Structure 1
Amino acid sequence: MSKKTALLEAIAGQNRGLLATEADKVRVLSLFQQLEDENPYPLPFQALNLLDGNWRLLYTTSRGILGLNRLPLLQLGQIYQYLRAEQGILYNIAEIVGIPLLEGVVSVCARFEVVSERRVNVRFERSVIVLQRLINYRSPLNFIEEIEGGKKFPPIDFNISNREQKGWLEITYLDEDIRLGRGNEGNIFVLAKEK
């Protein structure tokens, strides 16, 4: 079994990390590190065609992301990160599901700057929290196109000006299907490319 397959099998059924026990987390981290050692693109910013596009989160240890599942009567749906590498822009989109008519979208828009062979500094610029039905939400890509078109979304759409709203991300593995990353708070991320 390949290391990539082993990692994907280990995170299957973990609901992006929400169901992971401490033993699961240790096993996933070990497999994660083993796959990092086989990175076919150690210079990810020289493979922008692979980096660009929509990525779906398969697993994370980020409390900030997984904490979105604590909303009463609602659950965390799919989570996406859309990268526009040449422009240095990323969009994080979390779909919130549950009670009909209250499904939502939580999104953060950010700019990033490449600071090393694998690392980017991220500066968060805008946050949007909206009901899916209110904006006729169809897909992450459609939502991003509306954001880039200058659309403002009620009820919550604001610019983030706090200089503390920043971080960094290292891309530690990249291929045609999977991206692994490490964040400034010690979190790991496993993402799959949406075709």
Structure 2
Amino acid sequence: MEKRDMIGDETTRLALKTELLQRVEALETFQALFPSPAQPIDQIVQQLESLNPIPHPLSPKHLPSLIGDWQLVYASNGTVVTRAIASTPNMLGGIQIKQVWQSLVTGEPGKINASNGALIDLPLLGEWQLQADGTWNWGEDDQIAKVTFGTFYIRATKPFGSSSWNLPELKIPVLEFLRKEALWTTSYLDAEIRIGRGATGNLFVFRRARQLLN
């Protein structure tokens, strides 16, 4: 009976995962990454979280499944960048977010080096890349990490719409006493998708990235 239940749970999980990916792929970038009313996706995510195949993603044996490049494909309440854009008058039609990603690399024991990036198009200014580098730290709880970002970067990838321009990268370090910690829960993880929740419960769906910017 127990084995039959396990098979049923796995069948349900795969069906939910397929539905999640189909719904996400059907969304336009604005719908997927900007604050919006609750989507059916949120309910699917909650069901998936209850069937999480890797409930301890920060344990040493599961870190290889967590490490790597991830594409952000859905955010229930937007992101820090998209919320800022949404609150700026008369900018929604001008700024376009083309890609949002996160790269995770193994650091010292109990730490992961994290890099969050976004590729955006600015009116008249062209294409720019924003990036924040920081660390994940955790103790005995191998599902929740404390996240701190210490350096921000701004780089023009196609300034004024031209790829021939070569402008220097702007690096903005954050002084240690100004750095803030945020709790981050990895609530679902498998080989293809990852679901994270911030301290306020906002959910973020990532898909394993095939290719990111160099």
Residue 34 of structure 1 corresponds to 47
Q: Which has more radius of gyration?
A: 2
1:81 is aligned to 2:102: yes
Change (3 A) 1:155 1:84: closer
- How do 1:71-150 and structure 2 match up within 5 A? 72=91, 73-87=94-108, 88-97=112-121, 102-115=126-139, 116-133=141-158
Give the superposition deviation at 1:131: 0.8
Matched residue pairs, number?
Answer: 176
Give the superposition deviation at 1:18: 4.1
The farther-off stretch of 178-187 and 67-76 is 67-76
Alpha-carbon separation, structure 1, partners of 2:24 and 2:201: 18
Give the superposition deviation at 1:3: 0.9
Alpha-carbon separation, structure 1, partners of 2:168 and 2:145: 31
Residue 66 of structure 2 corresponds to 51
Give the superposition deviation at 1:49: 1.2
Change (3 A) 1:27 1:77: same
| 2:178 maps to which of 155, 163, 172 | 163
Alpha-carbon separation, structure 2, partners of 1:120 and 1:185: 14
Change (3 A) 1:19 1:104: closer
Residue 178 of structure 1 corresponds to 193
Aligned-partner SS, 2:178: coil
Aligned-partner SS, 1:17: helix
Residue 142 of structure 1 corresponds to none
Give the superposition deviation at 1:157: 1.6
Alpha-carbon separation, structure 2, partners of 1:122 and 1:19: 22
Change (3 A) 1:18 1:123: closer
Give the superposition deviation at 1:155: 5.7
Alpha-carbon separation, structure 2, partners of 1:103 and 1:179: 28
Give the superposition deviation at 1:129: 1.6
Q: TM-score, normalised by structure 2?
A: 0.72
Aligned partner of 1:104: which letter?
Answer: W
CA RMSD of aligned residues (A): 2.6
Alpha-carbon separation, structure 2, partners of 1:92 and 1:19: 17
Paired-residue identity, %: 25
Unaligned runs of 5+ in 1: 139-152
Q: TM-score, normalised by structure 1?
A: 0.78
Unaligned runs of 5+ in 2: 1-13
Contact 1:94 1:105 in 2 (8 A): yes
Give the superposition deviation at 1:10: 2.6
Residue 148 of structure 1 corresponds to none
Alpha-carbon separation, structure 2, partners of 1:5 and 1:68: 31
